[in-house]
Amino acid sequence: MKNVRGTLLGSASIVVTFVIFIIPFLFVVSIASKTVRESADLEFSWPRQFELVSNLVQVVRARDYLMVIAFINSVILTVVSVAALVILGAMIAYVLQRRASRLNGAISLVVLAGLIVPPAIVPTIYVLQKLGLFKTMPGLILVEIAFGLPFCILLFRAFIAGVPRELDEAALVDGASPLRIFFQVIFPVLRSVIMTVIILQSVFIYNDFQAPLYFLPGTRNATVQLTLFNFQSQYNTQYNLLFAGILLVAIPPLIMFLFFNRKIVEGMAAGSVKG
């Protein structure tokens, strides 16, 4: 009976996964492989004339290779932001978990509020303008760090709660400084949760559409998500090129999930158990 129930649940999971993930992906591929006239119908059908490669080339060449420039900008944004999130999130979580203070409760409440309270766009733009960082890549990097830091802190803190304090005490007895204890003793132990943070935040920041739209407007520093506007206008939309652009944009996160999905599960499970 248990085997039958497990088989049914497994089969149902496969069907649900196919319907939710595979069918939409095949729909994107089918539209991206059609001509302009065929794609205008938005029908889920096999293209009469396979134009996927030609459409992808047009997407890359559009507006003087804006897609290539946008991809470079997105890589810079993602790498710098994720590196800062890993280091800052781990350090803050370590201090909150290891050092008891009256302010810990208030700080934890602020961190939790960062996950619940929606971002305030207009005040953030005002602050960036006063700092001279509006419409700049450093300004957008700071915004992405602020948006992702609460989640990273909670994830790191849950994992650090299971790391024995004896490691800190032994290093302290040997004369190690607090920074050395963190980077040489604690940080290497966080390898699994670091991989989880890197993968999740990389996909989130790379796919972020809202923050670049509000805080980095214009084509000069466009990210890959904003290049999808190239194929839409008020009166006309080139759906074949639009979906080809979506396909190009989706490939890097898809590859990351295919190769590192086990690391994500391991990091999340380790943090939940040790917390």
- Of residues 268 and 197, more confidently modeled: 197
CA distance 66 to 85: 28
CB 179 within 8 A of CB 187: no
CA distance 191 to 170: 20
Question: What are the distances in angstroms from CA 130 to CA 123, 124, 126, 139, 145?
Answer: 11, 10, 6, 11, 19
Is pLDDT of 3 > 80? no
CATH fold of the domain at 66-274: MetI-like fold (1.10.3720)
CB 52 within 8 A of CB 33: yes
* Helix (H), strand (E), coil (C) string for 191-202: HHHHHHHHHHHH
- Of residues 54 and 100, more confidently modeled: 54
Q: What does pLDDT average to over the chain?
A: 85
- C-alpha triplet 182, 141, 70: angle, nearest 5°: 130
Question: What are the distances in angstroms from CA 50 to CA 36, 56, 75, 88, 238?
Answer: 12, 12, 31, 48, 16
Q: How confident is the model at residue 141 (pLDDT cuts 50, 70, 90)?
A: very high
pLDDT digits (tens, 9 = 90+) for 211-231: 998 998 877 788 988 888 777
Question: What are the distances in angstroms from CA 212 to CA 38, 178, 208?
Answer: 32, 37, 7
Radius of gyration of the CA atoms of the chain, in A: 23
CB 256 within 8 A of CB 203: yes
Is pLDDT of 273 > 50? no
Is pLDDT of 232 > 90? no
End-to-end CA, the chain? 35
Average pLDDT over residues 118-129: 90
Please classify residue 235 by burial: count the beta carbons closer than 10 Å to its beta carbon, then call 0-12 exposed, 13-18 middle and 19+ buried: exposed
pLDDT of residue 127: 93
Is pLDDT of 86 > 60? yes
pLDDT of residue 275: 43
Q: Which two tokens stand for residue 111?
A: 């961190």
pLDDT of residue 215: 92
CA nearest neighbour of 157 among 240, 89, 252, 248: 89
Burial 80-117 (b: 16+ CB within 10 A, else e): bbbebbbebbbbbbbbbbbeeeeeeeeeeeebeebeee
Is pLDDT of 191 > 70? yes
CA nearest neighbour of 262 among 192, 158, 159: 192
pLDDT digits (tens, 9 = 90+) for 37-82: 888 888 888 888 889 999 999 999 888 888 899 999 999 999 999 9
CA distance 185 to 177: 11
- Model pTM score: 0.83
